[in-house]
Amino acid sequence: MKNIKRGILFLLLTGMLFAMGGCGKKESLKIASKPMTEQYILTEIIAQLIEAETDYKTEITKGVGGGTTNIHPAIVKGEFDIYPEYTRTAWLNVLKKEEMEKDDDTLYEQLLAEYDNMGLTWTGLYGFSNTYGLAVRKETSEQYGLSTYSDLAAASPDLIFGGNPDYIELDTGYTRLCEAYQMQFKDTKQMEIALKYEALKNAEVDVINAFTTDAQLAANDLVLLTDDNVFFETFDAGTVVRKDALEKYPELKGVLEKLNGLISEDEMQQMNYEVEVNEREDKEVAREFLEAKGLLGN
């Protein structure tokens, strides 16, 4: 009889311990990315740093179709907790602002205020921008002495511009660029994004519109010109997170803030290059970056 009572007591105590353990258990932090290499790397950096610095678990959903258009409503609903975003993408696609705020600090402060009303916040910016730029072949740069957009304007009558249709036809794109810098290219060719770098490499065009962290810039030894009159606004990258996730996971804010100012444009471009050109795993590239920064044990 004593043995039976002891057995029952043991089962009751064991059940209580499991119940108590279950009460304190936290679900995995759900991290989302847009369907692009840069975002895959960033989400890996976020997830690996969280798991290295805390006992929290993470779950990544890669390549959410539609990007911001679908991720933002999902994070508002609580389907995701964290994702990397770009300031002016949020300004245009989330806040639906028609007029672009030119001052980066003012824009960021307005983002913080309006995101707060949605139960979201930004924990800071990584230190790089994925911004429109103009790229030329190294030999073209040397032949015409090109280092800035103003230099390009002077040489533009001898050069052919290549760009994807969306950029060429965008009201704030090619036409406004030419007006701002008084560029008059010999010819303009429209081509799909995937074909631009090949066309530039083969000298079918002399100048293309690019993104400043594109892996192909490094892969093809191209020169990214300096926007000396600051025509293109910056799309600064940073972390968006649900406010209730910060409350539920008290160590999370401090961990995410360690990413602020950590990644330069050159470093992001090189990481993109490692994945896209050298065909390495984004997880491996992210880990090496964090190790190099002293944030992961070797």
Task: With CA atoms as reference, report the closest residue to 128 among 293, 289, 261, 287.
Answer: 261
Beta-bridge partners for 61: 32
Integer Cα distance of 213 and 129 in angstroms: 8
| Strand-pair partners of 275 | none
Does the residue 13 lie in any domain? no
Render each residue's pLDDT in the chain as its tens digit; 298 residues. 545 545 544 444 444 444 444 444 568 999 999 999 999 999 999 999 999 999 999 999 999 988 899 999 999 999 999 999 999 999 988 999 878 898 999 999 999 999 999 999 999 999 999 988 999 999 999 999 999 999 999 999 999 999 888 678 766 678 889 999 999 999 999 988 778 999 999 999 999 999 889 898 878 889 999 999 988 888 999 999 999 999 999 999 999 999 999 999 999 999 999 999 999 999 999 999 999 999 987 5
In this structure, the answer to whether residues 81 and 214 fall within a common structural domain is no
What's the pLDDT at 219?
81
Asked whether residue 256 is domain-assigned, the answer is yes
Say if residue 71 is in the same domain as residue 189. no
Rounded Cα distance between 273 and 148, Å, is: 24
How far, in Å, are 60, 140, 163, 205, 267 from residue 292 at the CA level?
A: 23, 35, 36, 38, 11
Same domain, 124 and 255: yes
Amino acid at 287: R
> pTM for the whole thing?
0.79
What residues contact residue 259 under an 8 Å CB cut-off, 6+ apart? 45, 46, 49, 123, 124, 126, 239
Could you tell me if 146 and 266 lie in one domain?
no
Q: Are residues 53 and 126 in the same domain?
A: yes
Note whether 144 and 119 are same-domain residues: no
Residue 40 within a domain: yes
CA angle, residues 101, 208, 156, in degrees to nearest 5: 95
The answer on 137 and 113 residing in a single domain is: no
Contacts of 169 (CB under 8 A, 6+ apart): none
Q: DSSP secondary structure string, 184-251?
A: --SEEEE--HHHHHHHHHTTS-SEEEEETT-HHHHHTTEEEPB-TT--SPP-EEEEEEEHHHHHHSTT
Query: Of 224, 254, 274, which closes a domain?
Result: 224
Pair (99, 241) in one structural domain: yes
Q: What is the pLDDT of residue 99?
A: 84
Question: How far, in Å, CA of 42 to CA of 238, rounded?
Answer: 10
CA dist., res. 164 & res. 208, Å (int): 9
Give the torsion sign (CA, 72, 74, 76, 78): negative
Maximum CA pair distance of the chain? 101
Q: Which residue has the tokens 């230190």?
A: 127
Which residues are CB-contacts of 286 (< 8 A; sequence separation ≥ 6)? 41, 44, 45, 48, 271
Pair type for strands 222-224 and 132-137: antiparallel
Alpha helix segments (H runs only) across the chain: 2-24, 37-53, 68-77, 87-89, 104-116, 138-144, 149-155, 165-169, 174-181, 193-201, 215-219, 243-248, 252-257, 265-276, 282-292
Can you tell me whether residue 161 is helix, strand or coil? Answer: strand
Residues 140 and 216 in one domain: yes
Domain C-terminal end among 224, 243, 262? 224
CATH assignment at residue 180:
3.40.190.120
The reply to whether 81 and 120 lie within a common domain is: yes
Residue 15 lies in a domain: no
In a domain, 257, yes or no: yes
Per-residue pLDDT, 72: 98
Domains held by the chain: number: 2
Final residue belonging to a domain, choices 195, 224, 253: 224
The predicted structure's pLDDT at residue 86: 95
Q: Is residue 285 within 8 Å of residue 275, measured between CB atoms? A: yes
In this structure, are 114 and 252 located in the same domain?
A: yes
Quick one: 35 and 81 in the same domain? yes
Closest by Cα among 48, 53, 81 to 254: 53
Domain that holds residue 72: 30-130+235-292
CB atoms within 10 A of CB 291: 13
